[in-house]
Each structure stands twice: as structure tokens, then as C-alpha cells.
Amino acid sequence: MFKRLCSAKDALGLLLDRCQPLEHTELQTLPEAAERVICGDIISSADLPSFNRAAMDGFAVQAAETRGASISSPACLKRFLPLRTGMAVPEGFDAVVMLEDSALRGPILEVTAPVHPFRNLARIGEDIRRGDVVFKEGHRLRPPDIAFLAALGQERAEVYARPRVAIIPTGSELVVPGTRELRPGEAYESNGLMARLYVERWGGLPLEQRTVQDDPGLILEALESKTDADMIVVIGGSSVGEKDYVPRVLAEAGQLLAHGVRVHPGKPTAIGFVNGIPVICLPGYPVAAFFGLYLFVRPALKKLAHLGDAVPTISARLSRKIASRPGYLSLVRVALKDGWAEPIMTTGAGIMSSVARADGFVIVSEAREGLEAGGMVEVHLIE
Amino acid sequence: MFKRLCSAKDALGLLLDRCQPLEHTELQTLPEAAERVICGDIISSADLPSFNRAAMDGFAVQAAETRGASISSPACLKRFLPLRTGMAVPEGFDAVVMLEDSALRGPILEVTAPVHPFRNLARIGEDIRRGDVVFKEGHRLRPPDIAFLAALGQERAEVYARPRVAIIPTGSELVVPGTRELRPGEAYESNGLMARLYVERWGGLPLEQRTVQDDPGLILEALESKTDADMIVVIGGSSVGEKDYVPRVLAEAGQLLAHGVRVHPGKPTAIGFVNGIPVICLPGYPVAAFFGLYLFVRPALKKLAHLGDAVPTISARLSRKIASRPGYLSLVRVALKDGWAEPIMTTGAGIMSSVARADGFVIVSEAREGLEAGGMVEVHLIE
């Protein structure tokens, strides 16, 4: 039995208190800086455009000389320069006349419509000026942002380091896939692989990963050796059974802040820290581990990485009622079809096929006892 | 002037007709297969669990022997086996009795509550059976799916090849960033970099990229040499100016299906094909190029890659009215704040800072003449 169950919100709060946005930074080349978060304001070192740039094919002119021009009474210019879109409008000219409004007669340009100063050109610094803030600290660099920095002549960007995440799958029954056939009672390690893929996707850097046997000494060694990690995720052995050593070892090696969370599936979850590093212990049942990644690892990782943690959602109508246990946060897998969310009925936290068939999940709050059919729900899409 | 303007919908239709989902496939290791699309049904080669697995710490028993057991009259069993969660329940046993419902008295197990057959255990094949379909053709493998395949002992998956995308930035004014300082009239190449990052993000494989001068011969050579591409994206030189060679060269080398699209920004867009390969020609103005990537390259690439092309959206209330030109599909950058979408007012397709400040964009249909302040809009989030 768990000594004291904690709400999902409280467990997450205890975890997030221990996770501070990382301070260390690294200099990355522009393509590598994509999707990363900048660690200070980026100031433009150039004017963009860096020159008055023709916005049309036409002729550079002095706007004043076109005053009053019309088809019946064209202005006749001696000083002009043919230009194509994008070319520099040289000193001494301040506008571009479109081809349609002009005709070349030997050395004379006839202009049939007046232009205002700076017409049909992009002025120096119109997009951004040297010294202006391009992006503020905390901005995630998207592809057009990377392009913008390249256009400004920047080759690198200083970004926050990716959180380093140690993933420790535990269980004497686990066999690394591809190494050998299973013997009875064994299973291929898969939760650690899932965790690694999500950590990468959510902006973290998974550290080298090794499966650990159900042995208190080995678990302790694994926990204490991850001194270069910003977060540790242990999977399996997190419950209250005889061989569930992880919470006990964590309590000895560091501190156990919560053990047992009112969430279904996923009650055998523990939160703590060791050597100042936040530790999340997830159950080995794969569906519970999956939800634990979403509920705890994702927001903690996003906070460390200076990233927002909103999960993409879609609204849908519930096709059948959902049962849930009051007092427990319930996570229900659903399949989406034509605007309907179809609950995938299964009680087993070990049934991976239920996640395979799901497009997302619905969160039923502790205050509810299930959800009625026909109601609108927010479906969190499985990334 | 464009000879004939085409609607955005028609231009996209012409393009998508030329893009068929790729047929070639490749075998990938499991971690590498993440986010890829499987090219045939995956059939389970194993039962999962592969044995009757204890779902609790307790004792394996024969359920029949516990019939009628109670605290006052416990069943006394000689045949039993202590087990921990996850262990195999051997032949000859068909249920697990919880620790709470049992007591060991020397060689005898006293059971104080009856168990039904298969109680407290996960039966062989309960999750999936050998021969069952795990995932259907066309399924994108998410992290839990990869984990599921690993659990089934699978080491690889056959997936559709990533579409190979040739990106050709054109423009004699373009300088590759990092090579040298700009001279007047020059600009750093940035659109090609943006295109490359988006192609990677959207599931494509960008081919090696080289900037091409405004020269019909060089453009022809570039177009014709991309014989290994599944799609070609040319950026710049797509309008009707003197040096806008791209559409003319495309018409000669292959076929020009559309030139000039009623979309703002982005009118100078062309669609065609060369050597059977679809070609998308985008304007060099960076904001127009950005929207061209979203409007044309993204759905075409997603179709080639067997992927869905829904852009994530969020509903927001428009803080100010948007003006738009009827008959043109208008793309309006917006910043999001507290549920409001604030239009970023700029007319320039060359103003990259307007995208830098935007969180998303609103699409105003051809039938509308702008949108009123205060109305709800769907904001397409910039990825």
C-alpha cells in the first residue's frame, strides 16, 4: 500500500519546483539553431534592406522631376537608370517609375505618371534597422526566423542547452531488443525506447541508456552516476511490491517527495531528486509509462528547456460514456473519427495495443465521475 | 502582366494531380522508423504477453482450489508458487492470489478469498495475438508505436521513402551566408535555408542545394539535372519581369501548368513539371516564399509522403479588422495574445520581420472583403 497518495497536480507542482530553466548555453550554426530557444535578445547588426531596393522592374528617378506628369503631358527625364526588382537604387535617385508608366525615347525617359518619393522601392532599414531587437530572449527559432537571421548576415545563434535526460529502464525481466530470443517470463525493453523518442521530440537530449536489474545496489549506482543529467527518468519498479526498489533507493540516495499519485493509470509514480537532479519514477506498465511521460516528463522537460508545454488538442464529441473513479485524474485513450472521440475501452495499463489504436487522450478531472456520451471533450493529440 | 491568373485552389489542384504518394520503400531500424509511414500492414509475429503474466505480487494457484474460501474458512493449498508482478505463471496454474488474501503456513498456503480463473494475471495474447494486424498500411509510427513493435520483438520496419526535394534558390544578387561581405545590391540567401528546414520538418529529404544565377541556361541546367528528385522547389525569378526566367524555362523544359495565382502575397507563383517531376516556383520575396511553402509545398510534400496535411490551428478573436482584396486568397500574419489575434499590419511581401513577430496566420477567402474586428478566426500556427 502507498503511505500517502498525492494528487497529480501536487505531484507535478513538487516536480516543477525542482526544475529550473537551464542557464547554460551553446553557440550553434544557423541550421542547427532551428527549434532552439535563444538565451538573450538578438540585436540586428545590419540594416535590412541594406540599400534602397527597387520593388519593381522600372527606372530609378528623382521623384520631384515627375511632378505633374501625365499621358498627355509626360515628364521628360535625362537622369534615370534602368533597374530590375531587387537591385540597388543608387544615391541621387529616390523613387522607381514602373515600366508601364514610362517610355524610353533615345536618351530621354518619358514618364506618364508622377511618383512620390520612395515609391516602388524598399527603403534602407525598412524591414529592420541596425541595433533593433530582432528576437527577444526566450524566442524559439522557427524556420522563417532562421532565414531572417541569415538574411541579416548572422551565421550562428547562442541558444539554451538542451536538457540532458538520463533514462533508466529497470527490470530483471528486460531484454534489449535484437540481442536474443526471450525466455519465459522475459520481455523486450520498450519503455526506455519510447521515453528516448519523446525526450528527443520534446527538446531534450537523451543520454546513453542502459537497462538495470531489480537490484537495490545497481539501481543506486545508476541513480548516483547520472551526475551530468538535468533530469532522470526511471521506468519500472516504482510500486510497493517486494521488488519495487526504486522509491526506497531514491529515498536513501536523495529525497522522495511523492510516492503514489491519484492518477489512472499511473498510480505507482514517484517524484524526488538525487544530487539536486529531479527524478521521475514511472510504472513499468507501458500505458502508465506513456501517460507518465505526458503528465510529468513533458512539462518538466519543457520547463528546463525554456519551452511552452501546451499539448496540441482538438475538440470532439464523445461517442460513448466514459467511466472514471472520482478522486483520480483519469486518462482515457480515444480514437478520432469524423469529429467523434471514441473511447478505447480497456482497463489494462499493460495493453499497448490500446495506445496503438488511439489518436489522443481525454483527461477526466478528479471532480468528475466519468463523462457522458455526446458531450464535447478536448482531445490531447498523441505526438 | 500575367497572361491568366489562377485561383489558389486550382493551382493547388493542378499541383496535387501531379504528386502521387511515393511507392518506393526502405527498411529502417526501429528508432529510425519513428515518424515514418509504414508501407504495408504490420502483422504480429508473437503473442503479447508471450506467457500468462502475473499482474500482482502474490501466489500462482489453481482457481478451482480456492472455491468457497473465506476468512473464517480458508482454502488450504499445497500446490502454489510465489510470484512477483510481471513473472510468468507456469503451466498448471491459472490465477494469482493477492498477498492480502493469503498466508503461508509452512508448506501450506491459506487463501481467504476465492479467485476466478485468470484473475490477477494477463493472459497470453491478451494485448495482441500472433497473426493479428498491429498497424495498418499508411500508419505513421509514433513513439509508443515504436515501443509496441520493440515489445513484439521487431527490430525494423518497412516504411515509405522520404520525398526527395530539390530546392533551387535563384538570383544573381544572392550570396551564400558566411562566404563574404555583401556588396551593394546583394543579399544573403535565406529563402532556400527556410525551405530546407521546412522540408525536413514536413517529412521530406532536402537534396544538396546550390544557388543559381539569373541565367536561362543555368536555370535550365539546374531544373533538368534534378532527375533524382520527387519534387522541385524553385525560389525567385518567378514573376513577369525581364529577368524572371524561371517560368519561361520551365515551359520550355517541361510544362507550365499555372503562372500567376490569385493569392496575396504570392501572386508570382508558378506550377509545372519537368521530366515528370512536379515543380513549384515561388517568389523571392521572403514573406511570399514563406506562404508559398505553406500553401503549395506543404500539401504536395505531405501527399508524396503519405502524410496528413492539416496545419495545427487555434481559435482566436480578431483584435482589429483585416482588409483584403476580393477575388484573392489573403494570408494575414497575426500575433496571438490572451486569446486575441492581432493582425500585423504590413503590405510588404519583403518584410521578414512581420513573420518574425507573427505566431500564425489567418486565411481570408476570395469571397470576403476583409474580416471585421471581434470575430472568431482560425489561426494557422507557424511551425
Q: What is the CATH number of the domain that holds A257?
A: 3.40.980.10
A141, three cell numbers:
527559432
Q: What is the ipTM of this complex?
A: 0.93
- To the nearest whole Å, the CA of B118 is away from the closest chain A CA by 14
Whether residues A112 and A154 fall in one domain? no
Please check whether residue B47 lies inside any domain of the structure.
Answer: no
Amino acid at site B71: I
CB B325 within 8 A of CB B331: no
Q: Note whether B150 and A289 are within 8 A (CB).
A: no
Helix axes B143-151, A191-201, angle to 10 degrees: 160
Domain co-membership, A62 together with A17: no
Could you tell me if A200 and A117 lie in one domain? no
- Judging by beta carbons within 10 Å of its beta carbon (0-12, 13-18, 19+), is residue B28 exposed, middle or buried? middle
Tell me the Ramachandran region of residue B153: left when phi exceeds 0, alpha when psi lies from -120 to 50, beta otherwise. left
Domain residue limits at A156: 26-43+135-160
Q: What are phi and psi of A224, to 5 degrees?
A: -75, -20
Q: Which residues of chain B have pLDDT under 50?
A: none
Same domain, A37 and A77: no
How far is B56 from B266, CA to CA, in rounded Å?
63
Nearest to B290 among A57, A134, A144 (CB): A144
Residue with cell 514610362: A102
| Residues A104, A110, A111: CA angle, nearest 5 degrees | 125
Based on the fold, state whether residues A256 and A217 are members of the same structural domain. Answer: yes
Of all residues in chain B, the one with the smallest CA distance to A214 is: B84
**Residue A61 has what pLDDT?**
97
Clarify whether residues A19 and A166 are in a common domain.
yes
Residues of A (241-260) whose Cβ lies below 8 Å from B: 241-243
Residue B38's SS3 state is: strand
In a domain, B110, yes or no: yes
Mean pLDDT across chain A: 95
Q: What is the CATH number of the domain that holds A375?
A: 2.40.340.10
Cα–Cα distance for residue pair A237/A77, rounded to 1 Å: 86
Facing residue for B383 by CB, picked from A57, A142, A173: A142
Which pLDDT does position A178 carry in this prediction? 85
**Which pLDDT value is given to residue B311?**
87
Question: A185 pLDDT exceeds 90?
Answer: no
Looking at residue B242, its pLDDT comes to 83
Q: Do B243 and B358 reside in the same domain of the chain?
A: no
Strands of B70-148, DSSP E: 75-77, 81-83, 95-98, 102-105, 108-111, 121-122, 133-135
Are A149 and A251 in a shared domain?
Answer: no
A2: in domain? no
Amino acid at B248: R
Asked which of A263, A283, A304 is the last residue of a domain, the reply is: A304
pTM, 2 dp: 0.93
| Chain B CA closest to residue A197 | B143
Residue A289's closest CA among A200, A359, A199?
A: A199
* Stretch A223-250: mean pLDDT: 95
Residue A349 confidence class, pLDDT cut points 50, 70, 90 = confident
Chain A residues in contact with B171 by the CB 8 A cut-off are 86
B181 in the same domain as B103: no
Q: Given this model, what pLDDT does residue B380 score?
A: 96
Q: What is the pLDDT of residue B135?
A: 97
Residue A225 within a domain: yes
Compute the nearest-CA separation of A326 from chain B (Å).
23
The predicted structure's pLDDT at residue A262? 98
Listed residues A249, A282, A304: the one ending a domain = A304
DSSP alpha helix (H) spans, chain B: 8-18, 30-33, 143-151, 191-201, 216-225, 246-253, 286-292, 298-304, 352-356
Within-domain flag for A3: no
**What residue of A is the nearest CA neighbor of B214?**
A84
Is residue B153 domain-shared with residue B166, that is, in the same domain? no
> Which residue would you say has higher pLDDT here, B241 or A383?
A383
**Structural domains in chain B (count):** 4
Between the alpha carbon of residue B230 and those of residues B23, B160, B209, B277, the distances in Å are: 11, 13, 15, 6
In a domain, B185, yes or no: yes
Q: Using the 3D structure, point to which of B304, B333, B350 is the last residue of a domain.
A: B304
CA-to-CA dists, residue B135 to A172, A177, A357, A358, B158, angstroms: 29, 19, 8, 11, 12
CB contact under 8 A, A190 and B31: no
Alpha-carbon gap, residue A176 to A188, rounded angstroms: 6
pLDDT of residue A282: 98
Nearest CA in chain B to A89: B185
pLDDT tens track for A26-42: 999 999 999 999 999 99
Residue A95: the pLDDT is 96
Query: B-chain residues within 8 Å CB-CB of A34?
Result: 197
Give yes or no: residues B144 and B199 share one domain.
no
- For residues A32 and A150, membership in a common domain is answered with yes
Residue A310's pLDDT is what? 87
Does a structural domain hold residue A1?
no
pLDDT band at A184 (very low <50, low <70, confident <90, very high): confident
Looking at the domain assignment, is residue A105 inside a domain?
yes
